[in-house]
Amino acid sequence: MNQTKKKRKKRIKKSTKKQIKLSLYIALAAILIIFIQAFITSESDKFSSKLSDAFQETVITLNFTATDYSQVGIISPNLKLSKIQEGYPKIDTKYDEIETYSGFHLSYNEKHEQANWVAYILTKRKVRNDKVDRTNNFRCDKNISSTSAELSDYKASGYDRGHLAPAADMHWSKKSMSESFLMSNMSPQEEAFNRGIWKELEGQIRDFAVENKRIYVITGPVFKQNKNPIGDNKVTVPGYYYKAVLDISPPAYKSIAFLLKNEKSDKDLESFAMSIDQLEEFSGIDFFYYVSDSTINQIEANFKISDWNF
């Protein structure tokens, strides 16, 4: 009797292995077909978006579970974030003028003469598509209803015109590169901060985009412990800066946030990392507020430093 049970278990185990292998082969074949179709029918960044959507549908069709693959994060078959406006944060202020540009969107704060936040989607293709040189054409943003800060506000102030949406993230487009130098995208940063730890973080975010294929980035100042304002327009010098990052490559999603003081630092970037929930508590900003999928709260809370490759 025991011998019969053993044989039966062996047969079941063998059959299960065959089924798993068959499922994997079907999945790989389906993904390959989808990849070819997406490549043929798409162009530029639409290809990346279509491929992500197609892969997501494949995963759903094959009924994958969290134990079926090695990708880290929270499973969410319904979370789709392909447009910048779908990931806007919510802020509790009357100073919230939204402007949209080809590579990023921003919320301008007239009181502080800079953005509350800038948001954009960064992909592996965009990072690798290094075809446009830095322009350095800093200029006033006339799209802002009251006009933005001026170059003269920063002159002899001792502060750098610190990019929120980095120019190095916009090399893929001549227009986006130029728009990144609008003064609405600038914030007064300590020189050692802007050219040190902040620059290092910007590079790390690009590495995240390459590794994770597609990420959503929100960057901005936190108006706490501010320093004396600069220029005729009284531009606020923020005490802190943040970045909130969401890996939006399906089917598993993960997040990470950073909060840094506007000062020189020799610490490792990991020491500034936290969950988006923690950043929300400090900043008062509700990130990814308009994402309708119910798993976003879990994604924002589920932070693991080991999920990100530093």
The Cα 213–Cα 206 span in angstroms is: 10
**DSSP string spanning 111-133?**
TTTEEEEEEEEEEHHHHH---S-
| Token pair listed for 269 | 């970037």
Q: Is 116 exposed, middle or buried (0-12, 13-18, 19+ CB in 10 A)?
A: buried
The list of the chain residues with pLDDT below 50 reads: 2, 4-13, 15-17, 20, 41-43, 45, 49, 52-53, 55-70
Question: Which residues face 221 on adjacent strands?
Answer: 241
pLDDT at 138: 98
Residues recorded for the chain: 310
Residue 139 DSSP label: B
Catalytic residue list contains 105 = no
* Cβ-contact 303, 279 below 8 angstroms: no
Q: What is the CA radius of gyration of the chain?
A: 23
Give dist(CA 271, CA 260) in Å, integer.
Answer: 10
- Amino acid in the structure at residue 239: G
Closest CA to 143 of 184, 89, 177: 184
- Is residue 251 within 8 Å of residue 149, measured between CB atoms? no
* Helix, strand, or coil (residue 203): helix
* Residue at 32: amino acid letter: L
What pLDDT does residue 176 have? Answer: 98
How much is the pLDDT for 240? 98
Q: Check residue 21 and give its pLDDT.
A: 56
Between CA 186 and CA 166 the distance in angstroms is: 10
Q: What are phi and psi of 35, to 5 degrees?
A: -60, -45
Contacts of 138 (CB under 8 A, 6+ apart): 151, 161, 181, 183, 186
List the catalytic residue out of 105, 112, 163, 171: 163
> What's the 3-state SS for 6-58?
HHHHHHHHHHHHHHHHHHHHHHHHHHHHHHHHHHHHCCCHHHHHHHHHHHHHH
